Amino acid sequence: MITLYTWTTPNGRKASIALEEMGLPYEVRPVNIGKNEQFAPDFLRISPNNKIPAIVDQDAEGGPLAVFESGAILTYLAEKSGRFLAPSGPARYKAMEWLYWQVGGLGPMLGQLGFFALRSHEKSQLAIKRFTEEADRLLSVMDKQLAETEYLAGADYSIADIATYPWTLAATGFLGEVLADSLTTKLFVHRWLRTVSDRPAVQRGMEVPKI
Ligand SMILES: N[C@@H](CCC(=O)N[C@@H](CS)C(=O)NCC(=O)O)C(=O)O
């Protein structure tokens, strides 16, 4: 059994979508980051960076294993299930490229844009401009890739798509007005979003955690 520590956010949903897609049994422990539960000592022992998602696999080889950081979690789950990540060769590294692109690029930039454009009471025009332009640049890179391939890493759906889906949905959802100009030109991103949205496991993963 895998325990998933998560909340109702794009980073949390990457892990629940992966668990649903891979059909791995799991139980959910909601960590309410609005109430600072991510700083509880018990949670910090599992996720020392005080962020969700994190997992504990009780049945890991060699004994219970805690994993934090969504990219590491998705890689671990893909290797455990043997799904959505090639075991070796070029397809593996294409999936890794786009996985790291999401974890180090799209996620943090959209997160910063959300903070400066929506959550912050003080509106810094410089920060909003900087992160709007960077979000547009990243969505353009993604659109160009998806004009050439069905999924981010090629012909096959992979953990790179799982990682990128919840944040791209956020770009069209709670960031939709901020990014309206950018989104009108990203036709292949919208095609990919529709394809991934149609997957039943993605729909189930987006409902986690139920609170
Ligand atoms: N790089 C991390 C980012 C995780 C992250 O930013 N999680 C947010 C929720 S979406 C969080 O737990 N924030 C709580 C905090 O910063 O105190 C990952 O990909 O797992």
What residues in the chain have per-residue pLDDT under 50? Answer: none
- What pLDDT is stored for residue 43 in this prediction? 98
- What pLDDT is stored for residue 123 in this prediction? 96
User: pLDDT (tens digit, 9 = 90+) per residue, 6-20?
Assistant: 999 999 999 999 999
- What pLDDT is stored for residue 38 in this prediction? 98
- Nearest Cα to Cα of residue 60 among 85, 80, 83, 86: 80
Atom from ligand 1 closest to the CA of residue 103: 19
- What pLDDT is stored for residue 20 in this prediction? 98
- What pLDDT is stored for residue 126 in this prediction? 98
Pocket around ligand 1: residues whose beta carbon is below 6 Å from it?
Answer: 9-11, 33, 38, 50-53, 69-70, 103
- What pLDDT is stored for residue 46 in this prediction? 98
Nearest CA to ligand 1 atom 6: 51
- What pLDDT is stored for residue 32 in this prediction? 98
Strand partners, 156: none
Q: Determine contact, residues 157/97, Cβ cutoff 8 Å.
A: no
By CB atoms closer than 10 A (0-12, 13-18, 19+), residue 3 is middle
Q: How far is the CA of 129 from the centre of ligand 1 (A)?
A: 23
Q: Indicate the pTM of the whole model.
A: 0.98
Q: How far is the CA of 182 from the centre of ligand 1 (A)?
A: 25
- What pLDDT is stored for residue 172 in this prediction? 98
- What pLDDT is stored for residue 136 in this prediction? 98
Nearest CA to ligand 1 atom 13: 51
- What pLDDT is stored for residue 142 in this prediction? 98
